[in-house]
Chain A
Amino acid sequence: MALPLALDVAVTHLLGRKRQTVVSVLGVALGVGFFIAVAALMQGFQTYFRQTIIDVSPHVIVSDEFREPPVQPVESAYRGGAVDLRGLRPEDERRGIRDSRAIIDAIDRIPGAEVAATLSGQVVLRFGGTDEAATLIGIEPDREARVTTLAQDIEAGSLERLETTANGILLGRQLADTLGATLGDSLIAVTPAGVTRRVTVEGIFHTGIETLDSNVAYTLLKRAQVMQDRINVVNQIRLRLDDPNRAPEVAQRTEARFGYKAESWQETNQNIFQIFTIQNAIMYSIVGAILVVAAFGIFNVISTVIFEKTRDIAILKSIGLTEGDIRRIFLIEGLIAGMIGALLGWAVGYGLTEVLASIRFDFSADPEENRFHLDYSLLHYAIGGGFACAAAGLAAWLPARRAAKLNPVEIVRGAA
């Protein structure tokens, strides 16, 4: 007689409707299971994606742009609208970041920050009969290595060889494949400035980010400046921070101080993160819908039990059980179904996640890209279980309230 009375009666009711109970419990289990698996998949993908961005790209990019068009001197001279200015032609400024040395020195003093300056511009690479437009980025190899993962991403050749060879260039793997070029090949590079140079492939890199691998070539900063005919000009300053989460703050400070647009990685990838938010909302809606359906199952079982057990309810009330006692009995029934469903759902979720983890694709040579990235988070189990119990409790509460209000006299009269 270890069970309390309400629990004893509740368990008896559920055992009396085994099949229906099992079905509704399975409904909850599937809802929770799918939630856990899908959450692991999506969270895992998002975390992997985020981590890749954090690893590969700079955390803050200061570029030679301004968020607001610069105020022309004549506009500030005649502010207030007394004179209407028309046909104003802004001064044709040379593009690039002025005082880039001062900015780099200032950032170098921020603790936990690494900084590298680059000049990027367009180039056409020609090898054999193939022409490919690419972005040619001039870098300082030692600084670049500290700001991006370029050094680790080199598959063939090396970053240092840029400095030791005249006219060395690094190609993204897909770009190299498109051109048909391999290590040591000699290419012709043509810039919009009209400079044509012969360059040698000193390295091939693979970041895993398609736009980089198919579109970017690196060379020494000095060489890029000569090729673009922009001596001493830098158009991007890139930062890497020990703590990537500080990026927005550092970007804001840099921008406030120097005026140039400084974009954090969060801002650069804002669109993607917004998509993640939408993805998560869709996931929670779908799983919510599954659990609502499951909750209807529980609602159904408990309503049926109450309908069948009106006489029992009348007896229990005549014996002296209160409305609260009756409500508790049916609430417990719902919670039992919810909890068993949640426990089973955890097992289903774990199983599904394992299945997902074992799946391999044939997308690329990189094994990291040929599998799902899963995030095994206990939080997902807690959310799934909590949601299931809450849904089950609510589904039970509604009929339980009705059961508690049943008038024993009416039932006894009806039966007699």
Chain B
Amino acid sequence: MAPVLEARDVVRVLPGEVPVTLVAGITLSIGAGEFVAITGPSGSGKSSLLYLLGLLDRPTEGAVLVEGRDTGDLSAAEMARLRLEKLGFVFQFHFLLPEFSALANVLIPMRKLGRFGDAEMRDRALALLGRLGLEDQAHKRPDQLSGGQRQRVAIARALANDPKVVLADEPTGNLDTKNAQIVFDIFSGLARDSGTTVVTVTHDEHLAAQATRRVHLVDGRLVDGAAG
């Protein structure tokens, strides 16, 4: 079976007077149900690699494949469609729409996808919030929630369209130890129970140790964990 996500000799250079190499040739293959932690010092290219894997950015060289399909020749709109259907993002800061309730935030990807009816979308969103222990918070706005709750709403939103992969960029960077652990427990559960692939960038060694696989980057290169 083809890996869910695959990077082949991926290079990402920021153009400019002095070009900056963010990712310097990485080959990586991630299978279904894996829980991958990308670690490395700041500036090692962790986040850049995540954005490339998550189709938010395009590599300067090399190829990114989603479910075995090369994404190099996709248009911006086709990449957006792929993100909508197959990928879910969680960022360091919660990044919820501030005027929308928790429920409304979770509904956004489903509304864009348009696969479900209104009632079904609502049921699914409420179920997701329930799974993350937020059943009582559905109608609150982000500013009425705690930091940990907001991050869980963001995870619920990332899961809204049943993605193949959840990509998280320092999801616990802004949380206390307890909430950070809750987030990692959710990720572990997702990978184990629903076969959802989770790729997370973290610099917390303790949390990274809980992943099923660790990928370590230094200066835009893999130093550990290339093999699946």
B121 at the interface (CB under 8 A from A): yes
Nearest B residue to A1 via CB reads B118
* A319-B108, A320-B112, A409-B51 known; A312+B97 contact, CB < 8 A: yes
Find the B residue at minimum CB distance from A416.
Answer: B92
Query: Are A321 and B80 CB-contacts (below 8 A) given A416-B47, A416-B170?
Result: yes
B107, A314: Cβ atoms closer than 8 Å: no
Q: Are B112 and A318 in contact (CB under 8 A)?
A: no
Complex Cα distance A9/B112, Å? 12
Q: Which residues of B contact A12 (CB under 8 A)?
A: 97, 99-100
Partner of B57, one of A315, A324, A409: A409
The CB with the most chain B CB atoms within 10 A, among A12, A311, A412, A413, is that of A412
CB distance from A306 to the nearest CB of B (A): 14
Does chain A have a CB within 8 A of B93? yes
| Interface presence of A16 (CB below 8 A) | yes
- C-beta contact mask, B110-148 vs A, less than 8 Å → 1, else 0? 011100001001100000000000000000000000000
Does A319 contact B157, Cβ atoms closer than 8 Å? yes
Binary A-proximity of B59-93 (CB < 8 A = 1, otherwise 0) = 00000000000000000110011111101010111
Q: Report the Cα distance A1→B125, complex, angstroms.
A: 13
Given A16-B99, A412-B91, A412-B169, A5–B108 Cβ distance below 8 Å? yes
> Does A322 touch B at the CB level, under 8 Å?
yes
B contact patch SS: helix
Interchain nearest-CB distance for B165 vs A (Å): 13
List A residues 295-324 near B (Cβ within 8 Å). Answer: 311-312, 314-324
Q: Could you say which of B87, B91, B112, B170 contacts A321, with CB atoms under 8 Å apart?
A: B112
B220 sits at the interface (CB 8 A): no
Closest CB-CB distance, B53 to chain A, in whole Å?
12
- Given the interface pairs A1-B122, A5-B111, A5-B112, the reply to whether A322 lies near B95 with Cβ below 8 Å is no
Given contacts A325-B112, A409-B56, A412-B169, contact A311 B95 (CB under 8 A): yes
Question: Within 8 Å CB of A16, what residues of B?
Answer: 99
B33 at interface (Cβ–Cβ under 8 A)? no
Q: Is the CB of B76 within 8 A of A322?
A: yes
List the 6 closest A-B pairs by CB distance, nearest first. A320-B84, A320-B83, A322-B80, A5-B111, A322-B77, A318-B89
Q: Which residue numbers of B lie inside 8 Å of A, CB to CB?
A: 47, 51, 54, 56-57, 76-77, 80-85, 87, 89, 91-93, 95-100, 107-109, 111-113, 118, 121-122, 157, 169-170, 173
